[in-house]
Structures are given as structure tokens and as C-alpha cells.
Amino acid sequence: MIVTEPEKKEYELAPEGMINAVCVDVIDVGEAMGVTPDKLGRYLVQPKDPNHKAKARVRLIFELEAKMEDGRPFTSHLEVPCSFYKPNPGQNGQIAKLRDQLENWGIKLPADLGEPGTSLDLAALLLGQQATLRIKHNPDKIGRMWANISAINPSNAVVEPSGDWDRDSARSRLKDRALKAAVEGAVSAVKDGDAPY
């Protein structure tokens, strides 16, 4: 059997700075990964750090006005815990990242959002919404450079979705990565002698 490592793909980085964009997808990360929902119907994603609690996570996908060399629009995403927590005056804690980004974006949220039992259809609220994204280039732990969304702002520009975004393929990639991470984690546990059997 001959095993050949695939060539590593080089990806074009979206340019840094303020870029107009349109929201083309809203993904429940845990649902896409195939996580079994809890009693409340939440798909809680286990973080890499075992000391942290599993949380529902959402990924917002944007097509940018800026184009790649082949003419297709760049895509960029922001993934955050799916929480709308906002401390009342006098309470400790920070406003949830998702809520903070949506309010900064100018998205009108229901007044009772964050109260027990309230829900919100994020896809219905966000798909097709125009935005100005602040893109920053940041290296990861092994030195690869990524174009990350640091802020979502309102926009008066109109960016039309290209129609190229493949929702099913995006969810399939998330599921494949989750499976790969689970297998790598199990193999590592066996090598380290931490296997539960």
C-alpha cells in the first residue's frame, strides 16, 4: 500500500480592513457536527479545554465585496457561543459576544431576549443582512495566517449574494472536522495511556 500525503492548499487571505459584506449563512455548529441535542434542544459543543463547559455555538458566514483572483467573493465567518446574556444594572458579568456583535451591527433584538424560554430565529433575522466587517490578519499557534472578523458594523452598501455558497457542503465539512478531531483525540489518549478502557 502506498500512502501519499495530499498537498497542502494555500488559501488567499481576505484583505485587512473595513470591507462590505452580506450574511449568506447561519450555522448551528453543534447541529452541523451531529451532536445530540440536550433536553432543551440545544446542540452543545464540547470545547478543546476539558475544564470548560459545552456550549451552543453559532457560525455566521459572510460573502465579502472583495474578490479573489478567480473572481469569486471571499467568504469569512465569525463563530461565537450562542448566548444573548446581558447583565442587568448592578449585576456582574460581560455581555455575550453574539449579542454584542449583533447590537454593534445594528440588528434590532427583542427586549425580552435572554430571558428563560425566549427564542429567536437567527437565520430569518440575519440572512441577506448587509454589514461592514473589520477583518484582521492573525497567526494561529503554528504560524498560519488567518483573516478573522473582529467586528461587524452596519453598512449602507449593497452586496448581492453570489449564489455560490453551498450550505450543505459547509455543514458536511464541520461534521468531517469534528469526526477527525474525535478520532485524533482517541488515538492520542491511547498513546498517552489515558484511554478509558
For every residue of 29-71, which 3-state class applies, written as one string? HHHHHCCCCCCCCCCEECCCCCCCCCEEEEEEEEEEEEECCCC
Residue 173 maps to a domain? no
Is the Cα dihedral 83, 86, 87, 88 positive or negative? negative
Residue 172 maps to a domain? no
- With cell 425580552, the residue in question is 112
The contacts of residue 148 (CB under 8 Å, 6+ apart) are 76, 78, 135, 136, 137, 138
Which cell is 72 given?
A: 469569486
User: How many structural domains comprise the chain?
Assistant: 1
pLDDT attached to residue 185 = 67
Average pLDDT over residues 18-42: 94
β partners of residue 149:
135
Residue 121 maps to a domain? yes
Q: How confident is the model at residue 92 (pLDDT cuts 50, 70, 90)?
A: confident
Strands 17-28 and 130-139 come out as antiparallel
Is 173 strand, coil or helix?
helix
Judged against a pLDDT cut of 80, whether residue 160 lies above it is answered with: yes
Residue 83 maps to a domain? yes
Residue 89 maps to a domain? yes
pLDDT attached to residue 78 = 97
Q: How confident is the model at residue 8 (pLDDT cuts 50, 70, 90)?
A: low
The contacts of residue 142 (CB under 8 Å, 6+ apart) are none
Structural domain harbouring 90 = 17-163
pLDDT attached to residue 189 = 62
**DSSP 8-state class, residue 88:** P
Q: What is the pTM of this model?
A: 0.85
